[in-house]
């Protein structure tokens, strides 16, 4: 039986990635995302103040947003992220030690993988899904080809996903996508245009849920 988080991920289909956004605008961005219908928000650990941000977001949006930590490169970072309140861990790389730790803690870990060997290794180590990365370079055909023999392993496609191709990526077999700057637009954030961020979030949510904007 998939965990509650995996069920939610399969239903919501979008993980937004916040990288390099300071605390105050980060909270306003999270509010805009939540108002736009986004549920999954990953804060990358290579952002300044990422751990306090995770704690603050958990406190403020618990029940509305599923807050996770991204760019978790090793066991030390994994422990810090879990201590800060991250509900899931995502990385650009595969480190079995991090997966074992997450499984032990009862937390989802979605490691970055590219090759069939890495995908299978990650799944064998206990990852409930893998992040196929960099999707922008690999392309949709790669996803289709790798899904053919490995369709039992849930894959999150990250990189190069936009409003025009998101449904093609999902149709090719990804259970969800990772989205960064195409929703969490740094220019809009620096200009304080959080309503525009909300509209972007809403557009992506409508696209994957098949809703039509009125």
Q: Is 192 exposed, middle or buried (0-12, 13-18, 19+ CB in 10 A)?
A: exposed
Which of 13, 56, 87, 131 is labelled catalytic?
131
Is residue 131 among the annotated active site residues?
A: yes
Which of 42, 56, 108, 207 is labelled catalytic?
42
Structure tokens at 133: 């990365």
Q: Is 90 exposed, middle or buried (0-12, 13-18, 19+ CB in 10 A)?
A: buried
- Would you list the DSSP string of 74-136? SHHHHHHHHHHT-SEEE-SS--HHHHHHHHHHT-EEE-EE-SHHHHHHHHHHT-SSEEETTHH
Is residue 207 among the annotated active site residues?
A: no
Cite the active site residues: 42, 131
């Amino acid at each position: 039986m998939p965990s509650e988080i995996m069920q939610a991920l399969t239903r919501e289909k979008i993980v937004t990635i916040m990288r390099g956004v300071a605390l105050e605008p980060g909270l306003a961005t999270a509010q805009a995302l939540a108002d736009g219908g986004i549920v999954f928000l990953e804060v990358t650990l290579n952002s300044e103040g990422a751990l306090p941000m995770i704690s603050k977001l958990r406190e403020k949006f618990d029940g509305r947003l599923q807050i996770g930590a991204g760019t978790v490169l090793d066991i030390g970072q994994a422990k810090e992220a879990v201590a800060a309140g991250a509900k899931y861990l995502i990385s650009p790389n595969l480190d079995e030690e991090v997966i074992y730790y997450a499984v032990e803690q009862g937390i989802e870990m979605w490691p970055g993988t590219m090759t069939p060997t890495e995908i299978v290794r990650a799944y064998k180590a206990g990852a409930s899904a893998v992040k196929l990365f960099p999707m922008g370079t690999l392309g949709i055909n790669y996803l289709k080809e790798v899904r053919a023999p490995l369709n039992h392993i849930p894959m999150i496609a990250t990189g190069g996903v936009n409003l025009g191709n998101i449904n093609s990526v999902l149709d090719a077999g990804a259970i969800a996508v990772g989205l960064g700057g195409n929703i969490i637009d740094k220019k809009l954030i620096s200009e304080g245009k959080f309503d525009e961020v909300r509209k972007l979030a809403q557009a992506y949510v409508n696209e994957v849920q098949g809703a039509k904007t009125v």
